[in-house]
Amino acid sequence: MDSSVRGFRVRSQMSGGGENGFCTLMEFVGKGGADVGDDLVVLLAHLQYAAKRIAALVASPFNSSLEKQSGVAAGGGGGSGSERDTPKPLDIVSNEIIRSSLQNSCKVAVMASEEDDAPVWLTDGGSFVVVTDPLDGSRNIDASIPTGTIFGIYNRLVELDHLPVEERALLNSLQSGTRLVAAGYVLYSSATILCASFGLGTHAFTLDHSTGDFILTHPNIKIPPRGQIYSVNDARYFDWPEGLRRYIDTVRQGKGRYPKKYSARYICSLVADFHRTLMYGGVAMNPRDHLRLVYEANPLSFLVEQAGGRGSDGKSRILSLQPVKLHQRRPLFLGSSEDMEELESYGDVQQKVNPGYEV
């Protein structure tokens, strides 16, 4: 355990903060812990509230009737065409929950979401910009497969305040990942886990349903420098470029730099696959131009780098890329530093063709 976090837990015990001395998310980010600033503490309080509402929604036995209640056709409304996936009722409700929570915080100027065609200007005096995928993996929810929420937080660019609202909302949302103030995801699974970084390590908090608090359970996560798991859709093997096929063939035969055979683990839920990779090491990847740079690739790359790993599009560091469109897609490779170095050494790992698949 990191000494600063361990020291904070001791201070928490001495001050009586938290049952049995355990550190909550709000205690961790407050003045006695990471001290991220009052405005960000307020924003995080509203984000965790939204996460708890979405967790309850995902676990509800009434999800099957949500489509009728919401009046949204499951196959309708792709928004801006091919740049966005067709939203499902749970996506839309989750998006509304997050937007409402951010607006109520009065700390967010702009929200940019996978479920909206364009960024939404929320509060003129807001200090932050939030980018989000409200409910990643929702297509799997009927099978009770884990889902998640992804978010990234930037400072508002005050130098753009003179521009028209739509223009400054968009430009605020297209900041490079190197400017992230904080990022995180919420995993809705057997436990609800909120994993976040504020630029000083990556930390995970587990929801205690008896108190409603997110409790620090995984302080200062360090992804192993080498794993033994790769996570990718193997069904598309014959569409992959030669470099990626050679890499996968090599490591699963135990003929790579790490002389053990790799195992395949693939859930097809980005947050779940990434969370496992963060815990156990290895590589999680989608080699196609499929995952969104702004609200998926950037936040998760920030988290993995803060844990000692790497995020790449197969050629370049994700956080160094300058977004040019809100729903811009890139290949995404996330994982252990040594595994990522070995993968990139094969050169040709970005999939350029995608025949015969709708998603």
Q: Please say if 313 is a catalytic residue.
A: no
User: Burial level of 347, CB count in 10 A (0-12/13-18/19+)?
Assistant: middle
pTM: 0.90
For position 211, what pLDDT does the model report?
95
> Catalytic: which of 27, 115, 116, 313?
115
> Catalytic: which of 296, 305, 339, 342?
296
Token reading at 261:
């055979």
Q: Please say if 85 is a catalytic residue.
A: yes
For position 9, what pLDDT does the model report?
43
CA separation for the pair 127, 29 (Å, rounded) = 17
CA separation for the pair 34, 181 (Å, rounded) = 13
Q: What is the SS3 assignment for 293? A: helix
Complete domains list, the chain, with CATH = 25-62+87-221 (3.30.540.10), 229-345 (3.40.190.80)
> Catalytic: which of 27, 44, 90, 136?
136
Q: Please say if 135 is a catalytic residue.
A: yes
CA separation for the pair 334, 300 (Å, rounded) = 8
For position 353, what pLDDT does the model report?
85
For position 1, what pLDDT does the model report?
41
For position 88, what pLDDT does the model report?
80
Provide block-wise average pLDDT over 10 residues at a time, the chain (359 residues).
Answer: 41 42 94 95 98 94 64 44 68 96 98 97 97 92 90 98 97 98 97 97 97 97 98 95 98 96 96 98 97 98 98 97 97 98 96 75
Q: Please say if 242 is a catalytic residue.
A: no
> Catalytic: which of 25, 57, 135, 244?
135
Cα-based distances in Å from 322 to 20, 318, 352: 45, 9, 21
For strands 213-218 and 229-231, give the pairing.
unpaired
Q: Please say if 115 is a catalytic residue.
A: yes
For position 66, what pLDDT does the model report?
64
For position 92, what pLDDT does the model report?
93
Q: Please say if 96 is a catalytic residue.
A: no
